[in-house]
Chains A and B, each alone.
Chain A
Amino acid sequence: MRYGEAGFILEVDLSRGSIERVETDPRLTELHLGGQGTADKILWDRVPPEVGPFSPDNLLIFSTGLLHSTPVPGANRTVVNTFSPQTNLHAHSLFGGFFGPELKHAGYDKIVIRGKSPSLVYLWINNEKVEIRDATHLRGKGCQETAALIQKELKQDKAQVASIGLAGENRVYMATIDHSNSSAARGVGPVMGDKRLKAIAVRGTKDINIARPAELFELCLGLRKEIYENPRCGDPMAHEDDETFHLDNFAWGNARVRKKGYWNKELEEKWGALTRKLKDRDTSCYNCPKDCHAVINHPGRQRYALKCFNKLTYLMAAHKELDFNYDILGVTQEYGLDGFSTPQVLAFAIELYEAGILTDRDLQGFPTDVEERFFWLVEKIVRREGIGDVLANGVYWAARQIGKGAEEFDHNTTKKFEQVTIKLGKVNPPYFLMIATGEKMNITQIEGSYPQDPLPTMEEREKFVRDWVAVPDDKFKKMFLEWEKRNELPFEASCAICDWNEIMHYIDDAIGLCGFLSSFRGQFGGRIPYHTHNIPYIISLATGMELDKEGLWEIARRNRNLVRAINVRRGMRRKDEKPPEDHWKVRDPEMETKLLDAYYEFKGWNSEGIPTKKTLDKLGLDYVSEDFLQRGILTNNEGVSSEESSAENVEN
């Protein structure tokens, strides 16, 4: 009997219209756990590097986490993986809600989608009964509207639906896949649209078995209480009216201006009152004792759930106030547009217009009011009309298509992807490494375990490390005690911090835990419910797998190196690994070069950022090193291939 997992994958080929239920090898669970870990094994095996994101041979994979459908609170994040048209690299995306657990109860750990349908369709999974159904009547419908219409026509109000809006249908690069109170961004929406798959609806009524049930259930009752009562986990933005952190520290407009001192008590009262007026309730994801998603009911718009920093991204891009943000979200969420990257594209377009690079000829009928301009541009982008067809490719590609100096205005992308709008003073070594070498295109998916700032007094530091249960190794306590200035950390510490931070995310991606209870929240106060000390035991109770901290860490390293290998095989090299030029005002190129060298060495990668044969073989990724040798990516002396390569050169 398989514990904690269904043991089957659903293989769907939309070109052929075929559907297969395939049993999985339990050995893969031991090597990769599940979720993104096992999805990446499939991507490595089945999608060769010459396959473009919009090729029918590209795969779109929806994975449940290993702990979905167990009693473990907060295990509900579904991971979506494919190749992104924006970066031509591995796409990593997560969404919460209820979809993953429902899929597992239907009897599948994953859905692997290949091919392209000749016309718009949706997939209906009702336990063993799986159908590809016509969706032409859903063309242009909003994400949540689509979900409701499908539930109604199937007479299945308990079916969980993940869908795309008009943005996804038109392959807008900022398109999301939406489900309930959550969205998956960063490249997966346009691929779903390209496959002409409007939605997936799933209903599952099967048991998931637990290896050591009574112990796990009891443990989870305790965890629930701890999570509910712990103010340092979950999304604190969901319940705070104080927006100092983001408004005073993040950059406004096209990631240009910091407005220190913008926030004040008067605004806090005004915005707080507006939120209370428009908010229906706070909602949770499946089996989670946190309620991070406020439901906003803005006059004239359909209800929608707030997602984290989305509350502020549009207003900051437009230099406006909260009401505008709540209003435009009512539109963009139904179109299925990502609230992180889209506002930057809009602000970028307005900057180009103000600089005379985009003119009235490009933007016929462009309003004068900034808010109206945002709404106007959104309509053009989701329909790919006129300039919208260019902007729909994101800042990096739009800048190059527009030309005439527009490239200069693309100042906040890394690996062709819009970054969080932070512009700071002096280069910060661990953050340099995280932004440079991250392959998830957003710092929030890399940072998270080690605190962002030192504590001022030794007394406070000592107290902090005393209570620091989550720390995987005592060396981090020493680092923290010796840490005086934010931007001053030795190379060794910076490498170890970057490594720990990202490893936690790779664990969450495989088991389906929410980062707000685990990988993302430790950086604020250190007290998190899930960490490398208790996760192995929890996995053992749920699945029966023998696992300890070292074993867990090794699996996460294997999964992390597999993502790197997938991207390296597609051409990613050292020269792609750089934070936006102006992320810090004061840079230190010599130090940065040495730091990156040190980090590559720490990770067992060569000077081009390619995992060495030794590193790969030690992790059981021999098949990767063999492939690298055959392709000349690695040579037998482990030096770097002389062949120049870069993700820049690979065509979509």
Chain B
Amino acid sequence: MKGGAKKKIVKGIRVDVDKCTGCRSCELACSAFHAVPKYSSINPARARIRVVKDELKDVYVPVRAGDYTPAECMGRDKYTIDGKDYDECVFCRASCPSRDIFKEPDSGLPMKCDMCEDEPPLSEPMCVQVCDFGALTYEEREEEEGEKEVKREEVEIGLEALANRYGLQKLMDTVDRMSKKG
């Protein structure tokens, strides 16, 4: 790289809602890929992608889990596109208190799409690989690096969610008690 701004690769998934057939293969594959050990269990409720569906309104929107947010939005949006009504929050990727998606079914902890980062890297995220109809396609582009982003670890995101839910003190007390139990 010759001088100038640093470049970074931005990974993205193009979502064509018109091509979605609602099969939910993406959910299944995502849950399998993120199972420990890998592929050992299937559970779409653990998927970091969801097909938001309303069959009577012809709404089929695959949405990937974004960041956790502790607060609901002030005011919600409903969209009408090409005469079709989309309920509030359909396009939103956040794991938030207003709804139960993108939360671990057992712990309630937030989940976030990690683009299937793996070693060695996959050619494409798993949800894209199983989307035969092309509703999900993988895209990469180079972009100038902006402000340095602080990448937070999953543990930190999880702890923050717990702190928001139960209070920091209670969380610290619990961790303290657990560590004493050994």
**With an 8 A cutoff between CB atoms, is B88 at the interface?**
no
Give A180 to B22 CA distance when docked, in angstroms.
Answer: 11
A71 near B28: Cβ-Cβ < 8 Å: yes
Cross-interface CB contact of B23 among A69, A214, A221, A288, cutoff 8 Å? A288
**With an 8 A cutoff between CB atoms, is B21 at the interface?**
yes
Residues on the A chain within 8 Å of B53, using CB: 157
Knowing A71-B29, A213-B32, A228-B132, say if A105 contacts B39 (CB, 8 Å). no
Chain A 291-319 residues near chain B, CB threshold 8 A: 291, 295, 297, 302-303, 305
Give A284 to B22 CA distance when docked, in angstroms.
Answer: 6
B42 near A204: Cβ-Cβ < 8 Å: no
Report A272-301 CB contacts with B as 1/0, cut-off 8 Å.
000000001111111111010001010000
**With an 8 A cutoff between CB atoms, is B60 at the interface?**
yes
**With an 8 A cutoff between CB atoms, is A207 at the interface?**
yes
Give A289 to B131 CA distance when docked, in angstroms.
Answer: 8
Give A185 to B23 CA distance when docked, in angstroms.
Answer: 23
Chain B 31-51 residues near chain A, CB threshold 8 A: 32, 35, 37-46
**Chain A residues with a Cβ closer than 8 Å to the other chain, count:** 42
Report A163-207 CB contacts with B as 1/0, cut-off 8 Å.
000000000000000001100000000000000000000001111
Residues on the A chain within 8 Å of B41, using CB: 207-210, 213
B55 near A180: Cβ-Cβ < 8 Å: yes
Chain A 99-121 residues near chain B, CB threshold 8 A: 105
**With an 8 A cutoff between CB atoms, is B69 at the interface?**
no
Knowing A224-B130, A283-B22, say if A71 contacts B58 (CB, 8 Å). no
**With an 8 A cutoff between CB atoms, is A70 at the interface?**
yes
**With an 8 A cutoff between CB atoms, is A455 at the interface?**
no
Knowing A105-B45, A221-B130, A280-B58, say if A287 contacts B28 (CB, 8 Å). yes
| Min distance, Cβ A539 to any Cβ of chain B, angstroms | 16
A205 near B105: Cβ-Cβ < 8 Å: yes
**With an 8 A cutoff between CB atoms, is A73 at the interface?**
yes
B39 near A281: Cβ-Cβ < 8 Å: no
B43 near A284: Cβ-Cβ < 8 Å: no
Give me 7 A-to-B residue pairs in the complex whose CB atoms sit less than 8 angstroms apart, sorted by A's number.
Answer: A206-B45, A210-B40, A213-B32, A221-B130, A224-B25, A224-B132, A284-B22
**With an 8 A cutoff between CB atoms, is A225 at the interface?**
yes
Highest count of chain B CB atoms <10 Å: which of A208, A221, A280, A281: A281
**With an 8 A cutoff between CB atoms, is B137 at the interface?**
no
A204 near B45: Cβ-Cβ < 8 Å: yes
Chain A 428-467 residues near chain B, CB threshold 8 A: none
**With an 8 A cutoff between CB atoms, is B133 at the interface?**
yes
Give A148 to B87 CA distance when docked, in angstroms.
Answer: 14
B32 near A286: Cβ-Cβ < 8 Å: no
Chain A 23-72 residues near chain B, CB threshold 8 A: 69-71
A284 near B21: Cβ-Cβ < 8 Å: yes
Residues on the A chain within 8 Å of B42, using CB: 69-71, 207-208, 210
A residues with CB within 8 A of B: 69-71, 73, 98, 105, 144, 148, 157, 180-181, 204-210, 213-214, 216-217, 221, 224-225, 228, 280-289, 291, 295, 297, 302-303, 305
Residues on the A chain within 8 Å of B85, using CB: none
Highest count of chain B CB atoms <10 Å: which of A207, A209, A288, A295: A207
Instruction: Please name the 6 residue pairs, one residue from A and one from B, whose CB atoms are nearest each other, closest first.
Output: A205-B45, A284-B23, A205-B105, A213-B39, A207-B41, A284-B21
Cross-interface CB contact of B39 among A204, A217, A302, cutoff 8 Å? A217
**Chain B residues with a Cβ closer than 8 Å to the other chain, count:** 34
Knowing A283-B22, A287-B28, say if A210 contacts B39 (CB, 8 Å). yes
Knowing A205-B105, A289-B132, say if A281 contacts B58 (CB, 8 Å). yes
A289 near B23: Cβ-Cβ < 8 Å: yes
Residues on the A chain within 8 Å of B56, using CB: 144, 148, 302-303
Give A225 to B55 CA distance when docked, in angstroms.
Answer: 26
| Min distance, Cβ B110 to any Cβ of chain A, angstroms | 15
Residues on the A chain within 8 Å of B129, using CB: 221
A213 near B38: Cβ-Cβ < 8 Å: yes
Give A644 to B132 CA distance when docked, in angstroms.
Answer: 57
Report B120-163 CB contacts with A as 1/0, cut-off 8 Å.
00000000011011000000000000000000000000000000
Give A297 to B57 CA distance when docked, in angstroms.
Answer: 10
| Min distance, Cβ A232 to any Cβ of chain B, angstroms | 16
Give A312 to B65 CA distance when docked, in angstroms.
Answer: 42
Residues on the B chain within 8 Å of A286, using CB: 23-24, 28
Give A105 to B23 CA distance when docked, in angstroms.
Answer: 16
Residues on the B chain within 8 Å of A295, using CB: 55, 58
A303 near B32: Cβ-Cβ < 8 Å: no
Knowing A208-B42, A228-B132, A289-B132, say if A217 contacts B55 (CB, 8 Å). no
Knowing A71-B32, A224-B130, say if A206 contacts B43 (CB, 8 Å). yes
B40 near A209: Cβ-Cβ < 8 Å: yes
A287 near B25: Cβ-Cβ < 8 Å: yes
In the complex, the chain B residue whose C-beta lies closest to that of A289 is B132
Report B13-33 CB contacts with A as 1/0, cut-off 8 Å.
000001011111100110010
Give A144 to B42 CA distance when docked, in angstroms.
Answer: 28
| Min distance, Cβ A463 to any Cβ of chain B, angstroms | 28
In the complex, the chain B residue whose C-beta lies closest to that of A213 is B39
Give A305 to B143 CA distance when docked, in angstroms.
Answer: 44
Give A286 to B29 CA distance when docked, in angstroms.
Answer: 12
Knowing A224-B130, A281-B58, say if A291 contacts B39 (CB, 8 Å). no
B58 near A105: Cβ-Cβ < 8 Å: no
Give A588 to B28 CA distance when docked, in angstroms.
Answer: 53
